[in-house]
Structure 1
């Protein structure tokens, strides 16, 4: 249990570092690169050997966990993920004041607690806090330390060379969704109970390990079909023709037999073959 608790505390510290990094970029009136912000969070609280373990696709377990956790900031309305990168909202800036520690931030996100209405939007970063060296991430979390130096986690030095080589791939996948579906009028042909449903396993695509493109080959009778790309098993984020958000349906005129559908999440492009 202590090991799991420690992992949670480290993730909370990294999530706080992400929000602080976005805030610093906003205060400096700079365009922020999501990859740089996430890399900064990992530098502040490095991966241990468990977190550096490569999942399928060559992505370190810790990167996957951190990317997933940033969805909490989006849901809270504190950050926005757009095509041009990530940005912090005014409410997010206020959250850095209302919840100044990793523990406070995590508790607010878990409880769905909004920023108090009387908290103003900060226009400059707070005075820097003294960094704590040679402390474990668990101790740092208890002491409400936002940043932990690499020396704090010696295990991070044992990360395998393979993990370092996979870093470029992992960074490229930081904005990948958890699931991508081809939701359309041929879902029943794929084994789903209903057409136009993004939730079933039968309509999900797979992320190609080399191209980082979502791909699915399906067997369809001859006919004319329509579909959209639905993200994370929901219609909340979906892309139609020309990669337009909530746009018109993709149209597929098919002679019958197998057809491969490919979706690039970075460009929202669709290809058939």
Structure 2
């Protein structure tokens, strides 16, 4: 018999704790996106839950994201910017309430975990299971890339040093980087040598990036956009900094309390809220007035505000 949305949601909440417990045993720090993806992969959506809401978000995903607040209220889960952390009580809850019915009853009633419930230990020889979510992804072959090797010329080594320094002193180093890039490499004995050892810019670890990233929130009209919460407008777009691989948006805002989300490619199809959660709760900004800079790291889904 098919389970209802409520039953599935409680089962996924228990799975969230199971996944985080496995992360503790294996020493892996998991962010919100990884945990939610694994929970929904292990407990798939039924037909009703798979329906897409406005913005292209599955109904079941939105329900689960909101329901995780129950775990926080129970003291079983802590949500932080660096990821989600299960508490000792949360781990003990997986032992005290091993089946979905007792788990749902205790969570709804706010029943404390019995004091004599032990914290579960990793089974002997434990190896974290292969991610059910990752198993559905196709990984491109890297054979050709692995075979390629590049000799580092003195010019490349110097440029690499500039690239590393730029991460710390971005404003001071950027003019130097531009100057280095314009410098001509020493003459080569042959055209073949010149082609084999081209001058290259700073070594920067890159990550696939979206075409556009917007700060969509209740202050977009202050930035000059026609309306708030509209990621399609130019005024909401962030600028990508290749050197530190961050998207940035600086603006002058009056003192006040603001909320926003990070939206990709000028739409709500893919957006990230607090703690980097896909379609998660709004980011909050308590601002004293003046210039504020928001930075978004697409590799980790983290943001910083200053």
Calculate the TM-score normalised by the size of structure 1: 0.51
SS at match of 1:65: helix
Paired position in structure 1 for 2:95: 97
Q: Residues 250, 102 of structure 1: CA spacing in aligned structure 2 closer, same or farther, 3 A cutoff?
A: farther
| Match status 1:267 vs 2:303 | yes
Paired position in structure 2 for 1:123: 121
- Alignment check: 8 A CA contact 2:13 2:64 kept: yes
Matches within 5 A, 1:168-187: none
- Alignment check: 8 A CA contact 1:228 1:250 kept: no
Q: What is the deviation of 1:263? A: 9.9
Q: Residues 181, 102 of structure 1: CA spacing in aligned structure 2 closer, same or farther, 3 A cutoff?
A: farther
Provide, for residues 33-59 of structure 1, a one-character-per-residue CA deviation record: whole Å limited to 9, x for no partner.
Answer: 322222221122211222111111111
Paired position in structure 2 for 1:12: 10
Paired position in structure 1 for 2:286: 240
Bigger radius of gyration among the two: 2
Matches within 5 A, 1:74-223: 74-124=72-122, 206=229, 208=231
Provide, for residues 207-238 of structure 1, a one-character-per-residue CA deviation record: whole Å limited to 9, x for no partner.
Answer: 74799x89xxxxxxxxx931123699xxxx95
| Match status 1:227 vs 2:250 | no
- Alignment check: 8 A CA contact 1:19 1:92 kept: yes
Root-mean-square deviation (CA), in Å? 4.2
SS at match of 2:34: helix
Aligned residues: 172
The separation in 2 between residues aligned to 1:122 and 1:8, in whole angstroms, is 27
SS at match of 1:10: helix
For structure 1, the residue ranges without an aligned partner over 5 or more in a row are 129-148, 150-179, 183-204, 215-223, 242-248, 253-261
The separation in 2 between residues aligned to 1:77 and 1:209, in whole angstroms, is 39
Matches within 5 A, 1:14-29: 14-29=12-27
Q: What is the deviation of 1:125? A: 5.2
Provide, for residues 168-222 of structure 1, a one-character-per-residue CA deviation record: whole Å limited to 9, x for no partner.
Answer: xxxxxxxxxxxx767xxxxxxxxxxxxxxxxxxxxxx6374799x89xxxxxxxx
Q: What is the deviation of 1:69? A: 1.0
For structure 2, the residue ranges without an aligned partner over 5 or more in a row are 127-131, 133-216, 220-227, 238-252, 261-272, 274-282
The separation in 2 between residues aligned to 1:13 and 1:43, in whole angstroms, is 12
Q: What is the deviation of 1:71? A: 1.0
The separation in 2 between residues aligned to 1:210 and 1:25, in whole angstroms, is 40
SS at match of 2:45: coil
- Alignment check: 8 A CA contact 2:82 2:302 kept: no
